[in-house]
Amino acid sequence: MREVNPAALAIARRRDRLRFRPGTRKGPLYGIPILLKDNIATADGQATTAGSPALAHALAVRDAHVAARLRRAGAILLGKANLTEFANWTTVGMPSGYSALGGQVLNPYAPAVDADGIPIVPPGGSSSGSAVAAAANLAAATVGTETAGSLLNPACNNALVTVKPTVGLVSRAGILPIAASQDTAGPLARTVRDAAILLGALAGYDRRDPATLAVRGRIPADYTAFLDPNGLAGRRIGVPSDPADAENDIYWRALAPDQRRIMDEVVARLETLGAVVVKANIPTAGRIGGPGAMIEVPVTNPFSPSKGKRMPMPAVLIYEFKHGLAAYLADYVPDGPVRTLKDVIAANDAAAVPPRFGQDLLLAAEATRGDLTEPAYHAARALDLELSRPQGLDAYFDRWQLDAVLFPAALGNGIAARAGYPSVGVPAGWRHEVEGRPTPPYPYGISFTGRAWSEPTLLAIAYAWEQANPVRQPPPTAPELA
């Protein structure tokens, strides 16, 4: 937790008093405590900081659209969850769940840290606090955000269900961004049903976000209507693993032995549940994140094994961050002392304690013009779209007539995020080691990715999997509430 809403108990008491009063408007989340990732603006006296000390007192003048929708649905906004600082866009190699303002989030299944205070089993990021809070029963459900993996990764590491929506299904207005072309908010919950209910509350048109124009007529009245225990029967599921095409066999070839064992069991189980499994590589998998789409960033993080080297990072994110941050601050924190990325960097430089892991990515973004006019930006974005959509996932779905693609954990986040396509993450199994080092049992998840606006199909698949494979257990550090 980064901050608890001081009004939460008063709001809860008021909800209780009105619960049975005739005429009281009650939404689907009436009285339900929901926790927000600390990059989602709320105009209720809580700061929206993204984990940065430079924004410690950044009070938004209005709610983010998703926060406003949750209030209308009757939810109690319980507080702000810690996150990987700036949604993991501060420096190369920052540990997941760390922010200079909020400290280090720990995995509730295996909370041990090494000699440097870095988790041995990561909590996953960047929606680390949101995921851990849901897993540890600190809220009924939580909301996180994803640019590339930041919902799927922590869900898979904490035995949770998440929906990373199609970009445009959920408004991005009022969410402190990395890259608007890929950003989205989504639910983190303990069951598929809970995730479906929360997704329904989040999804909707917003005049402040032009991407949501496309949702009109696409949002069902109730996502839970698609939850079918037989939802895998006859579904064609792509398994992007063909060792004969080594260049594109990138999702399975790097799996550790225990991860591969879990995935082999998952594939076999899908078939017993009636799915048709198609093993074939995505044609552009090996080219995603290749030349033309990346910018090399010098690494100064003293804890990174890559210190002193240059690491390729997604160009679209580097170019869009500076522009998006300035736009967010101007619109939601217009009177704050921090107005630009340059101000954030200056505040970090002036701090009594310098950023522990550096600020390589902030510096790389500051070196751009910040107006999205660079030809290199447009070329990188066009390449990302071409390789992820028509030559990538679209070609893969069409060639094999697929309903969804199965990925180990969050490994498919890169191609799905660039395409703006949806994914659903669900628990699948348990690991007992990290790089050969024994650990307490901790979760391992899987994700299903679909075409744009295919959330109903993905939820049906995930629900059928969950009902046949009740993997989730509460963490020993936080047993289920009575």
Provide the annotated active-site residues. 37, 126, 150
The whole-angstrom separation of Cα 21 and Cα 182 is 43
How is residue 192 written in tokens? 């598929």
Per-residue burial over 308-336, b if 16 or more Cβ lie within 10 Å, else e, is eeebebbbbbbbbbbbbbbebbeebbeeb
Helix/strand/coil for 444: strand
- Asked if 15 and 32 touch (Cβ cutoff 8 Å), the reply is no
The whole-angstrom separation of Cα 303 and Cα 340 is 28
- Asked if 6 and 51 touch (Cβ cutoff 8 Å), the reply is no
Helices 375-388 and 315-332 sit at what angle, rounded to 10 degrees? 110
The whole-angstrom separation of Cα 129 and Cα 104 is 9
- Asked if 76 and 141 touch (Cβ cutoff 8 Å), the reply is no
Query: Looking at the chain, how many residues does it have?
Result: 482
- Asked if 195 and 163 touch (Cβ cutoff 8 Å), the reply is yes
Percentages helix, strand, coil for the chain (3-state, rounded to 5) are 35, 20, 50
Q: ∠ at Cα 359 (354, 365), nearest 5°?
A: 145
CA distance readout (Å), 174 to 55, 165, 201, 378: 15, 17, 16, 25
